[in-house]
Structures are given as C-alpha cells and as structure tokens.
Amino acid sequence: MLTFFSLVKSLLYFLALFPPSLGSTIAQEYDYIIIGGGLSGMTLANRLSEDPSKTVLVIEAGGFHSNDSQVAIPGFLGSTIGNTTLDWGFSTIPEAQSNNNTYIWHRGKGLGGSTLINFMAWGRPAELEIDGSFTEPPQAYAVANNLTFISEAQIPWISVLNTLGVAHIQDALSGNDVGVWMAPATINAQEQTRSDAASAYYTPISSRTNLVVETGAEVLKIVINSGLDGNVTASQVQYMQNGRALTVNVTDAAEVILSAGVVKTPQLLELSGIGDPDILEPLGIDVKVNLTGVGAGIIDQFFYGVSYELNNDSIVTLDDLRNTTFAAAALEEYETNKTGLFTIAVAAFSLMPLATIVGSEDEANQMINAQALKIAQGNYTAAEKERLNAIISGLRSCGEIGHIEVVGFPGFFTAKSAPEDGKKYLTFTADLQFPFSTGSIHITSTDGTVQPAIHPGYFTEDFDLEVLIATLKFIRKIATTGGFEALLGDEIDPGTEIQSDSDIAEYIKNFGGTEYHTVGSAAMLPQEKGGVVSPELMVYGTSNIRVVDMSILPLQISAHPMSTLYGVAEKAADIIRGVVTV
Ligand SMILES: Cc1cc2nc3c(=O)[nH]c(=O)nc-3n(C[C@H](O)[C@H](O)[C@H](O)COP(=O)(O)OP(=O)(O)OC[C@H]3O[C@@H](n4cnc5c(N)ncnc54)[C@H](O)[C@@H]3O)c2cc1C
Ligand SMILES: *[C@@H]1O[C@H](CO)[C@@H](O)[C@H](O)[C@H]1NC(C)=O
Ligand SMILES: *[C@@H]1O[C@H](CO)[C@@H](O)[C@H](O)[C@H]1NC(C)=O
Ligand SMILES: *[C@@H]1O[C@H](CO)[C@@H](O)[C@H](O)[C@H]1NC(C)=O
Ligand SMILES: *[C@@H]1O[C@H](CO)[C@@H](O)[C@H](O)[C@H]1NC(C)=O
Ligand SMILES: *[C@@H]1O[C@H](CO)[C@@H](O)[C@H](O)[C@H]1NC(C)=O
Ligand SMILES: *[C@@H]1O[C@H](CO)[C@@H](O)[C@H](O)[C@H]1NC(C)=O
Ligand SMILES: *[C@@H]1O[C@H](CO)[C@@H](O)[C@H](O)[C@H]1NC(C)=O
Ligand SMILES: *[C@@H]1O[C@H](CO)[C@@H](O)[C@H](O)[C@H]1NC(C)=O
Ligand SMILES: *[C@@H]1O[C@H](CO)[C@@H](O)[C@H](O)[C@H]1NC(C)=O
Ligand SMILES: *[C@@H]1O[C@H](CO)[C@@H](O)[C@H](O)[C@H]1NC(C)=O
Ligand SMILES: *[C@@H]1O[C@H](CO)[C@@H](O)[C@H](O)[C@H]1NC(C)=O
C-alpha cells in the first residue's frame, strides 16, 4: 500500500544480530510471567522488576532491535511496515459490507511491539472521556514538542482549519482536544531517535538480574488447572524458541500476564480453553472457563487518505526519500547534525465534532437522531445498546469530544494511484474515532502459529460510512481554502471524478483500512456485559491470569492510543504490586 516505504527500505545500512536470551537466567520459576514484550509488556517488566525481591520473565516472539537504525531514526517511519521481521502482518476475513476486501493489519513484533513500527503520534483523549487525574509535565511536553523539522507543506494547516471554524488548541494534552494543533511525537529530543517501549522502558534497566527477557520465543498455550476455589489457575506456559518446544512452570504465588496485543491475546486465551464454548468445542478444545466475551465486540477505527500534488516541487516532504540521492544526503545530515528530514514527525492534527464535518448543527442532529432511533428500535443486546448509546451521547456533547480526526501527512499516503518521481504531495487522512460497527477475532485452529480469523466488521453500521463520506467532502474544502488553495494542485486520490456518495463509498472501502487502534478483544467490563477482565484486570474465572494491553479497552478513545495505554500499564503494575486498589 505505502509505496515510498519499499524504496526507503533499500537505505538500511546497519544490522545487528542479537542473542535470543537477554539478561541472566536466574531462576526456573518467576513471580511474573509476561507474554508479549510490546508497549504494555515492557512497561510492566520495568515496573514489576523495580522490586528486587520479585522475578520477572518476558516471553517475546520477535527480537530486540536496540541498535536498528531503521527503527531508531524517526524519518524511517513507515519503512518497516510490512517487514515480517518486525511486523506480524495479519489479514482480515473478507466481509460483504466492505466489498469482500482483505485488509492487512500490521502489528509490531519485537521488544517494544507496535511502538517499534508506529507513527509516533502522541495524543490524549478528551477530558470528558477519561477521569481527569492527569498532571501536565511541562518539561516533558516541551521536549516532546522539539520538532526540528516540519514540512512547509503543513504550514497552512492551522490557519486553514481556523477559517473552516476549527479552533486552535494550544495544548491538546490538556483534556481538550477538539480543534487543530501541531502534535508532539514519541521522539527522544536529545538524540532525535524513536522513543519506543523497549528503548524507554527496557534498555535503561536491562541489567537488572531479576528480569529475564526471552526473545524469538512465541507462546502457543497456557496450561490451565482446576483451582480449589472455583477459579482455574495457569500452571504452565508453553512456547517455541529456536524450533524447540519449551515450558515455564507457574508456581502457586505467580501470575501470568497476557500483553500479546489485541489480536494475539484473545487467541492465546482461546487456545488455553478460555472463551466461548461455541468457538472452542468444535475445535475439540476443553473449555476451562466459559467466557463468551473473549474476542467478541472488537472496535477498530477506520481511516483513508485524500492525496494532492503540491504546486511547488521545491518543498521538502517525505516523498523526497524516494529519491536515493536526496535520501543519502538527508541521512548524512541526520548522522552528522541530527537535523533534517530524518527527524520528521507527523505533526498536523485536528479533531472535529460531526457538525463541523457536515457543515451545520441541524444536519448533524438529524443524523444523530436517526441513528439513536435505529439503536432504540434495533435488535441489539442490552450491553450493545449501552455501548452504542455511549457513542450517541459523545456525538451530542459537541465541542467536547471529537468524532473525526483529520491529519495532514507530508507525503504521498494513498493507495489507489502511485506517486511520480520528483513530485511532492500532501495527504489528508480521515480517521473515524468512534465507530458503531463491531467485529470479532477468534481462532479457527488449535495451532497457535495459525493466525486467528479477524472479522473487522467495518460498516456493519451504515452511520460509520456516512460520516466517512461526509469527511471526504470536508477535506476537499480544506484543500481549496486559504493557504492550501495556492499550495495544492491536482487531487490525485480518489480524483475529482469521484463525486457521488456511492463512488466515494467505494473508494473508502477499497482504499481505506485500519488505523491500527483496535480495542476490545478482552474488554474490562462486567462479565454479563461481555467483559473478560475485572477492574483488577484479572480474567474472570481465573485466579492468576491477567490481561494488560489494548484488548482491555471496552470503548474507543478520541486519540492515538499510546499515551493512554502506557497509563493503563503503569496503573496495572501498581495494581499487581498492590500499591493501589481499584
Ligand atoms: C503501523 C502502526 C502505526 C501506529 N501508529 C500509532 C501512533 O502514531 N500513535 C499511537 O499512539 N499509536 C499508534 N499505533 C498503535 C500503538 O502502537 C498500539 O496501540 C500499541 O503499541 C499497542 O500496545 P500493546 O501492548 O497492546 O501491543 P503491542 O505493542 O503490539 O505488543 C504486543 C507484543 O506481543 C508480542 N506477541 C504477540 N503474540 C505473542 C506470542 N504468542 N508470544 C510471544 N509474544 C507475542 C508481539 O510480538 C508484540 O511485541 C500504531 C500501531 C501500528 C501497528
Ligand atoms: C547496542 O549498541 C551499544 C553501543 O554500541 C552496545 O553497548 C549494546 O550492547 C548494543 N546492544 C545490543 C543488544 O547489541
Ligand atoms: C526487515 O527488517 C530487518 C530489521 O530491521 C532488516 O534486517 C531487514 O533487512 C529488513 N528486510 C527488508 C526486506 O527490508
Ligand atoms: C462478496 O462475496 C459474496 C459471497 O461470495 C458474494 O455473494 C458477493 O456478491 C460479493 N460481493 C462483492 C461486492 O463482490
Ligand atoms: C531541542 O533539541 C535540541 C537539540 O538536541 C536541544 O539543544 C534543545 O535544548 C531542545 N529544546 C527543548 C525545548 O527541549
Ligand atoms: C476467583 O478469583 C477472583 C479474583 O481473584 C475472586 O475475586 C473470586 O472470589 C474467586 N472466585 C471464587 C469462587 O472463589
Ligand atoms: C515443571 O514442573 C513439573 C512438575 O512439577 C516438573 O516435572 C518440571 O521439571 C518443571 N519444569 C521446569 C521447566 O521447571
Ligand atoms: C456459556 O455462558 C453463556 C453466557 O453466560 C451461556 O448462555 C451458555 O449456555 C454457556 N455455555 C455452556 C456450554 O455452558
Ligand atoms: C517553493 O518553495 C521553496 C522552498 O520552500 C521556496 O523557496 C519558493 O519560494 C517556493 N516557490 C513559490 C513559487 O512559492
Ligand atoms: C552540519 O551542520 C553544519 C553547521 O550548520 C553544516 O555546516 C554542515 O554542512 C552540516 N552537515 C551536514 C552533513 O549536513
Ligand atoms: C436478533 O438477533 C439475534 C442474535 O443475533 C438473532 O438470533 C435473532 O434472530 C434476531 N431477531 C430478529 C427479530 O431479527
Ligand atoms: C534527486 O535529488 C537530487 C539531490 O537533491 C536532485 O539533484 C535531483 O534532481 C533529484 N531527482 C529527482 C528526480 O527529483
């Protein structure tokens, strides 16, 4: 899909090989066994191993990429997407309502997980969504804002959106994120390197002797025993490393923490006998806990782009990295001075209520009222209605929660056409924050190396598609307003011949995809509402299995999720250590 990335890959100039086992093997038994060393797993590994009397094991399927320039240099953003060393590259099951398309779901593999390959955008949901216990770190914010390179293609961003009625937000991390702003990124400002979950949470403490990290180690199953108190207990974790089947025992006081991400966590629960009997029994899996919420009701934000050619070919954008001469010089500048295009981050963000997108409060209210009526009269369970009505009330709190995100990406970032050599582009992306549609992730095999069936459920609710169609029309307004009018030339994708709602819908379905923010495959909710984990993040019906990762979020949030998830993992560590109670 992202064509410039394949060319950037050829620029890889450094490769280090790492031993599979890091740290010293200090025990055959551990207090905490963390499955998956991604964003959540690394955060937990750091916090739980702060107590020297506790031993921690992390089992991670991918490698340790601490000296990998393709990961570390910000300007390589996107270049590792699709590379199977660093990306699981899941694909979805075709569904009729999205034209039977197969969408690729990239997910990071290796210590740091998806933070190794993501776009480093740092955001925070609106105050109304999250209880406000956040203290702004002024110093950290200043450092995070140290963006040494902003493409001139993004400069009209704030003034154009102001003209279209979108207010400028000084600090989008304050709990008010409805408006337009230049966003911070997870870049280490001193070194101008990607700050991922491994470099931030693991590298500085990797010498702790009570922390063992196994890489190239893929967990296939948790062995579950009946417990004494009616709850079942994990007794062993089984994994493959270097072609060898290995196990680690879970002792009486120990815990297993699943941090394998939104796709693999439900798969591992199901393989271990925790899930919906209708899924497990046909595969011959012994049901240890009947938990119908596992893998059900996932919610994925959907996005697509609209690309424009720039009228001025001298403006530097990420398109310049397709030019190997330019890229080599930019890399030299980066290595010598830590400046230039390779320090770039995606900066131009905005979040808008539906009324801004469709052009009037009246029209927005009509759409919202029709959807509210459909939910009231529809064939939904009580729990589904509660979730859908939460989105309705978010839509009605216009001005406090943004329903649609539009990002200005400095380069060609659409899939219908290909970029041309020497030309420069600006792409606006439309990102639906609160889809009504839901899908599922379930196993189809007892073999843990067979990827589960992902049914994303895109557009099972028409409202989602209607909003995305309206957003394309809004983006066309952005492109012809103020400073963008002179800067932008032809619309490349979808192209001005695409005008009718049905043609726009086809474009969205065929050339859009996941925004990589899927939640809800092991939701923290009451069990009768489809929940999988308790407020302590313990899997219902078990006494020593927790989930700490994107799977537990029961609802979407109006932000790129990293900051929220680091917060979830920090809080989870405190809960597990007994520092705080829920
Ligand atoms: C391409 C992309 C771009 C993104 N851009 C942004 C952005 O700009 N801003 C933002 O805030 N968020 C972004 N995100 C989302 C964010 O990175 C993720 O939501 C976050 O990393 C999820 O954290 P996690 O702990 O749930 O899982 P992950 O960080 O994905 O970690 C899961 C880990 O578990 C490991 N694992 C899985 N199965 C097994 C197994 N069986 N055995 C052993 N290990 C296993 C994986 O290899 C991985 O390391 C992006 C994500 C992607 C994929
Ligand atoms: C990464 O490079 C540093 C500095 O060269 C070195 O000290 C460290 O051991 C390397 N890390 C790995 C995992 O090889
Ligand atoms: C994939 O990424 C790894 C790690 O960065 C790198 O060694 C390898 O060359 C990459 N492969 C391709 C095809 O780019
Ligand atoms: C999708 O697949 C179904 C079943 O094969 C088929 O009936 C339907 O026509 C297909 N839809 C499209 C848009 O191709
Ligand atoms: C920005 O980065 C430069 C170069 O590392 C550094 O000198 C400067 O102090 C940083 N500014 C802020 C506000 O952190
Ligand atoms: C099962 O474990 C949970 C969490 O540890 C606990 O609250 C619950 O009381 C246990 N169930 C039974 C039947 O003991
Ligand atoms: C796990 O426990 C079993 C039974 O107590 C024992 O036989 C086995 O050696 C242990 N395995 C490891 C890796 O410690
Ligand atoms: C599993 O639980 C669901 C929901 O509580 C229930 O409807 C179903 O009958 C149970 N299935 C089995 C096999 O016990
Ligand atoms: C094109 O962009 C370059 C680089 O920013 C600038 O110097 C030049 O003035 C621009 N040309 C026009 C016609 O705007
Ligand atoms: C590094 O910065 C210095 C001082 O601005 C400049 O003279 C030099 O050309 C730069 N080097 C590269 C490779 O860009
Ligand atoms: C309502 O939904 C349930 C579950 O999907 C289904 O079994 C039932 O037939 C539906 N009822 C109607 C009236 O559509
Ligand atoms: C590639 O970059 C070099 C150096 O900036 C420049 O001289 C050349 O014209 C560029 N090639 C194309 C096709 O734009």
Say yes or no: CB of residue 325 within 6 Å of ligand 12: yes
- Among 582, 566, 579, 577, smallest CA distance to 40 is for 566
Verify that 85 and 36 share a domain, yes or no. Answer: yes
Verify that 132 and 89 share a domain, yes or no. Answer: yes
* Per-residue pLDDT reduced to its tens digit, 396-416: 987 889 999 999 999 999 999
So what's the pLDDT on residue 153? 86
Residue 12 in tokens: 């890889």
Three-class SS of residue 422?
A: coil
CA angle 347, 351, 357 (to 5 degrees): 125
Say yes or no: CB of residue 332 within 6 Å of ligand 10: yes
Q: How far apart are CA 212 and CA 555, in angstroms?
A: 33
Confidence of residue 275 (pLDDT cuts 50, 70, 90): very high
CA angle 176, 182, 187 (to 5 degrees): 105
Average pLDDT over residues 331-360: 93
Mean pLDDT lowest among 59-73, 238-252, 390-404, 430-444: 390-404
8 Å CB contact between 52 and 210: yes
Average pLDDT of the chain is: 91
DSSP letter, residue 349:
E
Q: Hey, which residues are catalytic here?
A: 517, 560
Verify that 245 and 306 share a domain, yes or no. Answer: yes
Confidence of residue 2 (pLDDT cuts 50, 70, 90): very low
* Per-residue pLDDT reduced to its tens digit, 565-576: 999 999 999 999
**Ligand 3 centroid to residue 85 C-alpha, Å:** 6
DSSP letter, residue 508:
H
Say yes or no: CB of residue 85 within 6 Å of ligand 3: yes
- The amino acid at residue 340 is G
Say yes or no: CB of residue 66 within 6 Å of ligand 2: yes
Ligand 7: which residue has its CA nearest to atom 11?
249
Say yes or no: CB of residue 225 within 6 Å of ligand 7: no
Residue 548 in tokens: 């700490």
**Residue 13 pLDDT > 80, yes or no?**
no
Confidence of residue 22 (pLDDT cuts 50, 70, 90): low
Average pLDDT over residues 243-263: 96
User: Hey, which of 57, 249, 251, 252 would you mutate to test ligand 7's pocket, going by the most ligand atoms within 8 Å of its Cβ?
Assistant: 249
Verify that 294 and 388 share a domain, yes or no. Answer: no
Buried b (16+ CB within 10 A) or exposed e, 280-296: beeeebebbbebebbbb
Q: Any idea which ligand is nearest the CA of 147?
A: 5
8 Å CB contact between 224 and 231: no
Query: CB atoms < 10 A from the CB of 450, how many?
Result: 11
Verify that 495 and 521 share a domain, yes or no. Answer: yes
So what's the pLDDT on residue 426? 97
Total tally of structural domains belonging to the chain: 2
**Ligand 9 centroid to residue 313 C-alpha, Å:** 8
So what's the pLDDT on residue 138? 38
Verify that 409 and 474 share a domain, yes or no. Answer: yes
> Domain of 383?
358-398
Say yes or no: CB of residue 249 within 6 Å of ligand 7: yes
User: Hey, which of 326, 423, 424 would you mutate to test ligand 12's pocket, going by the most ligand atoms within 8 Å of its Cβ?
Assistant: 326
Verify that 291 and 393 share a domain, yes or no. Answer: no
Ligand 4: which residue has its CA nearest to atom 8?
96
Verify that 470 and 488 share a domain, yes or no. Answer: yes
Three-class SS of residue 348?
A: strand
Instruction: State the CATH number of the domain containing residue 164.
Output: 3.50.50.60
Domain assignment present for residue 272? The answer is: yes
Domain assignment present for residue 83? The answer is: yes
- By CB atoms closer than 10 A (0-12, 13-18, 19+), residue 379 is exposed
Domain assignment present for residue 323? The answer is: yes
Is 219 annotated in a binding site? The answer is: yes
Verify that 176 and 121 share a domain, yes or no. Answer: yes
Give the CB-side neighbour count of residue 446, counting CA atoms within 13 A.
10
CA dihedral of 155, 158, 160, 162, whole degrees rounded to 10: -160
Q: How far apart are CA 60 and CA 57, in angstroms?
A: 10
**Ligand 8 centroid to residue 177 C-alpha, Å:** 42
Verify that 384 and 413 share a domain, yes or no. Answer: no
Percent helix, strand and coil across the chain, each to the nearest 5: 35, 20, 45
Verify that 375 and 515 share a domain, yes or no. Answer: no
Average pLDDT over residues 325-346: 93
Q: How far apart are CA 248 and CA 33, in angstroms?
A: 9
Domain assignment present for residue 582? The answer is: no
CA angle 147, 151, 157 (to 5 degrees): 95
